[in-house]
Structure 1
Amino acid sequence: MEYDPDQPQYSTSDPKSFAYTSALERWPVILTSAIDDLYRSVSNVPAAETEKLAEGKAITEQLAKLKYELQHNRQLTPLLDDGEPDIAEYNKELEQRGQLTWYNAPWLYTECYLYRRIATLFARSKHWKNYDVFARQKLSTFKSSRAAVLELAARYRKLAKEAGEDKKGVSSEQIEEAERLLFVEMCEICLWGNATDLSLLTTLTYEDIQKLQGSEARKAQEKNIIVNDMSAAYDVLRDARKTKGPQEERRVDIVLDNAGFELFVDLILAGYLLSANLATTVVLRPKVIPWFVSDVIPQDFADLINALRDPQAFYTAPDDTGRTYEPLSAAQEEDVDFLFKQWSQFHADGRLVLRPHRFWTSPGSYWRMPHVAPDLFEELKGAEVVLFKGDLNYRKLTSDAAWPPTTPFTTAIGPLGPGSGIRILSFRTCKADVVVGLPEGEDERLRNEPNGGGDSGARKWAWSGKWAVASFSDGKK
């Protein structure tokens, strides 16, 4: 806490904040889903495996106890030791913050505490140690994204073919402008992939999810990017390609957010950067434990690649309700196979790398990184650009603080801003109160939009994911 800004953080006690709505409405639903998932898995354990069965039932009961504590506004208790060093960090901060209750606590710390506490229940077990209580949901949602996946696979394959064609008669200026536009399109795809955040979209149907994805939806949403610094990031990557030698690494890091479709679009961007030679290496940075329902852990990458290995089987298998799906056409299979082979080859060549770090599931803001994770801080300096995906990363970059909305992004990210040695690009569809870098009067204008909050005191426009920001900070200056 000593490294955080002086600005107050959003609290679950403020009825005008999304923090309050999250604690009251979202968290119980998430815990109920986790309980249902584990109950289903425990029910499939053979009766002869008595120890595993008993352990699974005990964890289910502990999840139900956690839900009861939450809904009855009980005091947060110290986390039980599961052998990982961050437990001491969580408990120290809990002690420093005093007697927190679920509905009267800093939102950022408390939400991290919730998922870290769930993780301890499994980590302390013998037979369920590596169980991801959210994995079933993540794969199911990726399956629901079939239409958008197939559309993007076809588009990407076509672009890759065009990239290899002879460009005689086309000036270098025309090529660069086309590349800039394509880079922005890829970034927009990557940005709006964040629309399918399972911790927020807890009630959507299959049809609802499809409406959030696809090219028509992206075109309609383009005007809703209220801060757009994508072109500045392109300039950095273009200039690095011009000035660095062929043997020098030009790395882009992606601090991942959600699994499933969002990871898929992250890989679309990564594949494009490598294919277009805007980067020589892309480092994907996942979490180390199941987190915020849908956040990526290394197993999610493996699950996605395996789904693409045999898309016919994955996308046509009946779902839990028994619903069946149309077979993929031969062309659709070929499109997906192209992605699978390219991404697998990039991974095998060491150009597409996964590098998890426990800091991403720590309780506090990224203002603390230089002090509590100096190894990671130094490593990120080696990238041309570090792309932070999603709302939680944005909240952690800005310390989830109640900044005035006109505060420059470079100010709100503190020690990761100018002079840090790290270039940051943050993609975020707005699903929380904190928002910075807006022109004077923009927050007021958006509050007056339908369901924007008006004069209620609530910044409701920033809760729905309708609006987005792509904010850049050149920390190498």
Structure 2
Amino acid sequence: MMAADQALPGVPPSLSAKVVGSFAYLTVRDRLPTILTKVIDTIHRNKNKFFEEYGEEGIQAEKQTISLLSKLRNELQTDKPALELTDSLQDKESWNQYLHRLQGDQESVSWFKSPWLYMECYMYRRIQEALWLNPPISEYDVFNEGKTQSFFESQQAVMASCTYLEGINKNVEELSKSQLYEHFNKLLQVSLWGNKCDLSISAGQDNSQKASPIDSLDSLQPFILVNDSNMLWSTLMSAQRPRQSGKSTAGRVDIVLDNAGFELVTDLVLADFLVSSGLVHEVHFHGKCFPWFVSDVTANDFQWTIRQTMAANHKWMSKSGYRWQSYLKEGVWSYHDHPFWTQPHEFCDMAADAPDLYATLKRADLVLFKGDLNYRKLTGDREWDHTVGFDTALRGFGPAPLCSLRTLKANVQVGLQPGQGEKLTFQEPDWMTSGKYAVIQFYIPELEEQV
């Protein structure tokens, strides 16, 4: 297997904190230590809870976890080499092998000198290690408070989204194809802009959605730099398969999730519309095995969000929640996690390193990748020229037609028109990291053969 950062012909180097002043550098220098400090504070604040639940053992575990995390923070701030993992989690060997691959390509793998994508993923895996090595608090989600707060502070926006959805569902049978397309476009964009609510980019600061997302779509339209939504629609239309009975059967959409809180609700609303409109017959959601990048969705977050929606004191929100629960019971919706999503690999490694997951995605008619981290992994988080094609940056990854729904919060962006990136850089030097701009970027594998 090729070392992750090995220079290949035509493949630029990985973004890294080597470049002083770059976004990667500022992330490693400032944002990551801030996140670690908040994790340490959260564990310390919950000391009494651990004592109530586990007695003296809980206090001991809290102290030892904080000690390991403080050591990790020191390693980060002093640019120490990355260490092998020592826990007994199922992905330990895979992580350690990946580290060896990187070490084969450079003298030392360390925080400021190595690929930023790897080092940032590594930090979250080391947080998990610190907890795992200290039962009985191994299962504690250090990011849960922020995710919960983000959900409750976005209640108005959640209600507005569910109300809009119920309005569609009331007369979904009577809608024309063009009306369906209009609703699809709106809910796709709500899911896109839901990605602004990212707690890792704000280092855990409040980043909830207060206003009705539907009302702000027109004003946000100019900030979508690439908009391939018509290609998504065509893909969904072509997934309608005629059956012998004379009826047609719709296809399957997989959604690779990003953030919990309001963004997850926007993904559920979109998935509900796809099913209730008959555009698809099943939706597979993919989340993380453990807490990751502050606000990413885990199985607990997914189930908790549906339960909260069901319990809401709001007619349409509660109704939506009950319908989502029934989709899960009936198998129309399903939630999956896989260790690959919490590993540092570029997605072009998936076919070799997680062939079972690649095979799962191949069964989809369309895969939606939510958010910034997924985009970084799709494109390898490299110094690509902005005009390089999305297909080129994917480097052979294409289990099925796929689309990235992403607001820009890291300095990698491909598939732009000539001069578009330069113009944006001139007007707004931080356009790639501010979360103000977005893309709906589509790729269909082997297009030549399908034309």
Query: Scaled by the length of structure 2, what TM-score is found?
Result: 0.92
Check conservation: 1:10, 1:17, Cα contact below 8 A: no
Higher relative contact order (CA 8 A, sep 6+): 1
Check conservation: 1:258, 1:295, Cα contact below 8 A: yes
Partner residue of 1:107? 116
Partner residue of 1:237? 236
CA RMSD of aligned residues (A): 1.9
Q: Give the drift of 1:38.
A: 0.9
Q: How do 1:155-194 residues align onto structure 2 when only pairs under 5 Å count? A: 155-164=164-173, 166=174, 175-194=176-195
**Alignment partner of 1:415: what SS?**
coil
Q: Give the drift of 1:62.
A: 1.4
Structure 2 counterpart of 1:400, which letter? D
Match of residue 151, structure 2, among 142, 148, 167:
142
Structure 1 counterpart of 2:47, which letter? V
Match of residue 370, structure 2, among 386, 389, 394:
389
Check conservation: 2:50, 2:137, Cα contact below 8 A: no
Counterpart-to-counterpart distance in 1, 2:297 and 2:49: 26
Query: What is the total number of aligned residue pairs between the two structures?
Result: 436
Q: Give the drift of 1:79.
A: 1.9
Partner residue of 2:95? 87
Listed one character per residue, the Cα deviations across residues 165-217 of structure 1 (whole Å, up to 9, x for unaligned) are: x46xxxxxxx1122111111111001000001000123744xx6345762333
Q: Give the drift of 1:36.
A: 1.3
Counterpart-to-counterpart distance in 1, 2:241 and 2:249: 11
Match of residue 73, structure 1, among 79, 87, 109:
79
Q: Give the drift of 1:476.
A: 5.1
**Alignment partner of 1:448: what SS?**
helix
**Alignment partner of 1:215: what SS?**
coil
Check conservation: 2:159, 2:317, Cα contact below 8 A: yes
Structure 1 counterpart of 2:2, which letter? E
Q: Give the drift of 1:232.
A: 0.4
Listed one character per residue, the Cα deviations across residues 305-342 of structure 1 (whole Å, up to 9, x for unaligned) are: 12113224xxxxxxxxxxxxxxxxxxxx1011111111
Moved more, 423-432 or 248-257: 248-257
Counterpart-to-counterpart distance in 1, 2:233 and 2:278: 12
Q: Does 1:281 align with 2:282?
A: yes
Alpha-carbon spacing, 1:123–1:463, altered in 2? closer, same or farther (3 Å) = same
Q: How do 1:1-400 residues align onto structure 2 when only pairs under 5 Å count? A: 2=2, 6-46=11-51, 49-85=55-91, 86-96=94-104, 97-164=106-173, 166=174, 175-202=176-203, 204-205=205-206, 209-210=208-209, 214-241=213-240, 243=242, 250-312=251-313, 333-400=314-381
**Alignment partner of 1:461: what SS?**
coil
Check conservation: 1:211, 1:217, Cα contact below 8 A: no
Q: How do 1:429-444 residues align onto structure 2 when only pairs under 5 Å count? A: 429-444=407-422
Check conservation: 1:75, 1:101, Cα contact below 8 A: yes
Gap runs ≥5 in structure 1: 168-174, 313-332, 454-459
Q: Give the drift of 1:46.
A: 3.0
Listed one character per residue, the Cα deviations across residues 387-428 of structure 1 (whole Å, up to 9, x for unaligned) are: 000000000000001111001111110111xxx441111111
**Alignment partner of 1:92: what SS?**
helix
Counterpart-to-counterpart distance in 1, 2:377 and 2:301: 22
Q: Give the drift of 1:244.
A: 5.9
Gap runs ≥5 in structure 2: none
Structure 1 counterpart of 2:433, which letter? W
Q: Does 1:469 align with 2:439?
A: yes
Query: Scaled by the length of structure 1, what TM-score is found?
Result: 0.87
Alpha-carbon spacing, 1:340–1:259, altered in 2? closer, same or farther (3 Å) = same
Structure 1 counterpart of 2:120, which letter? E
Moved more, 248-257 or 434-443: 248-257
Counterpart-to-counterpart distance in 2, 1:37 and 1:78: 26
Identity across matched positions, percent: 34
Q: Give the drift of 1:382.
A: 0.8
Q: Give the drift of 1:30.
A: 0.7
Structure 2 counterpart of 1:224, which letter? F
Q: Give the drift of 1:258.
A: 0.7
Check conservation: 1:11, 1:19, Cα contact below 8 A: yes
Check conservation: 1:142, 1:260, Cα contact below 8 A: yes
Q: Give the drift of 1:94.
A: 4.6
Counterpart-to-counterpart distance in 2, 1:283 and 1:346: 11
Structure 2 counterpart of 1:151, which letter? A
